[in-house]
Structure 1
Amino acid sequence: MAEIKAADVQALRKLTGAGILDAKKTLEETGGDAERAAQLLRERGVVSAAKRADRESSEGAIALSMVDNRVGALVELKCETDFVAKSTDFVNTVNEIAAAVAERGTSAADEFQEMIASLTITLKENISLGRVIRLEAADGEEVSGYLHVQADRGVNGVLVQLKNGSDELAHDLALHIAFARPSYLAIEDVPSSVVAKERETLETMTRNEGKPEAALEKIVAGRLDGLFKSICLLEQPFVKDEKHRIREVLGQATLIAFAQLVVGE
C-alpha cells in the first residue's frame, strides 16, 4: 500500500472540502491516486448534499451583468446562511453565471450545475440555482440595471428595458423599482381573478361601513386605485417626486419591461 502523506491528505481536503478522516481513508482506498480519490469523495459528497436538499435555502446572492446597455442578466444563487452567501467562492460563482447568461442566453446557466454541485460539497450547504432573467433591447431601446449590495453580496437586483428614453431615466426607474418593488408593469397585467377578489372584498367592506349604495362604485374604484398604486409600476408615485406617477414621469419614453430579484423573495 502506498504511503499516504499528511500533505496529500491536506491537499485533497483543500480540493474537496472533505474531513481529514474521509480524505485519508479515500486516499488509502485509491492507493494514493488523488484524482480518483477526489472523484470518489465528490460522488459521496453529492449523496451527502442530497440529504441537505430539504433544508430551506432562504439566503443567497443576486448578480447583475450588463453588455453595452443592450443586454442585462440577473441571476440568483440560493443557500442556507448569509455567512455562505457573502463568501468569495459563492459570490464569484453567481457573478460568473450572470456574465455567461448575459453573453449567451439563459440556457448558459445550465452549464454551471457541476460547479454548483462542487460548491455544495465545499461549503457544506444546500446550494441551488434560483431565478435567471435576461432582457435584450431591440432597436431604439436600452437596458439598464441596478444592484444593491449588502455585506459583500448583491441582495436586490433590477433590470429596466426602455424605449426612447435616456440613461438617466432608465437609472432612476431602476432605483425606483428597487425601493418600491412592484409586482406588475400595468393595471392590465394584474390577473382578473386578483382584481375580482379585491373588488368583492372592498364592496363588502364599504357596505359594512354603512356607505350609501349610490356611492359604492365610486368608493370601491378609489380603493382599487390604491391597490394598483402599490402593485403596478406605472401607477406608483415616483420615489423622487411623489406628486407624479411613473407613467407621467416617462414622458415620451415607453417602459417595455422590468425585472427584479430580491434575496429571500
Structure 2
Amino acid sequence: MADIKAADVQALRKLTGAGILDAKRTLEETGGDAERAAQLLRERGVVSAAKRADRENSEGAIALSMVDRQVGVLVELKCETDFVAKSADFVNTVNEIAAAVAERGEQAVGEYTEMIASLTITLKENISLGRVVRLQAGEGEEVSGYLHVQADRGVNGVLVQLKNGSEELAHDLALHVAFARPSYLAIEDVPAALVAQERETLETMTRNEGKPEAAIEKIVTGRLDGFFKSICLLEQPFVKDEKHRVREVLGQASLVAFAQLVVGE
C-alpha cells in the first residue's frame, strides 16, 4: 500500500471538496495517484450530486456583464442557501459565466457544465444554471444594465435595450425596471387570455359592488388600465416622475426590449 501523506490528502480535499476519509481511501486505492483519485471522487461525487438535485434551490446569485453598451448579459446561478450564494467561489463562477456569454454568446454556457458540477461537490448543495439572457444592440441602439447587490451577491439584475436614446435615459429605465418589476413591455404583449380573464374578473367585481349596468363598461375599462399600469413597462408611472408614464418620457427614443432576473422568482 502506498504511503499516503497528510499533505497529499489535504491537497486532494482542496481540489475535490471530499472528506478526509474519502480522500485518504481513494488515494490508497489509486496508489497515491492524485489525478486518478480526483477522477474517482468526481465520478462518485456526481452520484451524490444527483441525489441533491431533488432539493429545492430557490436561492442563488445574478451576474451582469456588459460590453461597450452594445451587449448586455444576465446569468442566474441557483443554490439552496444564501450562505452558499454569497460565497466567493459561487459568485466568481456566475460572474465568469456571464462574461463568457457576453463575449462568445449563449452557447458559452456549455463550457461551464464541469465547473458547475465541481461546485456542486465542493459546496455540497444542489447548484444549477438558471436563466440566461443576452441582449445585443442594433444600429442606433444601446444596452444598459443595473445590478442590485445584497450580501455580496447580485439579487436583482436588469437589462434595457433602447433606440435613439441617451445613456442617462437607458440607465434610468434600468433602475425603473429594477424597482417596478414589469412583466411585459407593452399592452399588446400581454396574452389575450390573461386580458380576457382579468376583464371578466373586473366585470364580476364591479357588478357585485352594485354599480349601474350602464356604467360597468366604463368602470371596467378604467380598472383594466390600472391592471396594465401594474404589469406593462410602457404604461407604468416613471419612478423619477410619477406624473408621467414611461412611454411619455421616452421622447424620440423607443424601448426595444428589457429583461429582469430576480433571485427566487
Deviation at 1:2, TM superposition (A): 1.2
Q: Secondary structure at the match of 2:182?
A: coil
CA deviations 1:149-185 (Å, max 9, x no partner) are 0111000000000000000000000000000000000
- Residue 82 of structure 2 corresponds to 82
Letter in 2 for 1:8: D
* 1:111 CA displacement: 1.1
In the TM superposition, what is the alpha-carbon distance from 1:88 to its structure 2 partner? 0.5
The CA deviation at 1:256 is: 0.2
Give 1:95's aligned residue: 95
Residue in 2 aligned with 1:20?
20
Q: Which runs of 5+ in 1 are unaligned?
A: none
Measured in 2, the distance between the counterparts of 1:256 and 1:145 equals 14
Partner Cα distance (1:152, 1:208) in 2: 49
Name the SS for the 2:93 alignment partner. helix
1:41-83 per-position Cα deviation (integer Å, ceiling 9, x unaligned): 0000010000000110010000000000000000000000001
Unaligned runs of 5+ in 2: none
Alignment TM-score, normalising by the size of structure 2: 0.99
Residue identity opposite 1:72 in structure 2: G
Matched residue, 1:165: 165
Q: Please report the TM-score for the alignment, with normalisation by the length of structure 1.
A: 0.99
**Identity in percent:** 89
Aligned to 1:243: 243
Cα distance in structure 1, aligned partners of 2:90 and 2:133: 19
User: Matches of 1:179 and 1:215 in 2, distance apart?
Assistant: 35
- In the alignment, does 2:122 pair up with 1:122? yes
Find the counterpart in structure 1 of residue 196 from structure 2. 196
Cα shift at 1:110: 1.4
- Alignment partner, residue 216 of structure 1: 216
Name the SS for the 1:257 alignment partner: strand
SS in 1 for 2:183: coil
Q: Distance in 1 between matches of 2:91 and 2:161?
A: 26
Distance 2:241 2:94 in 1: 35
Deviation at 1:107, TM superposition (A): 1.1
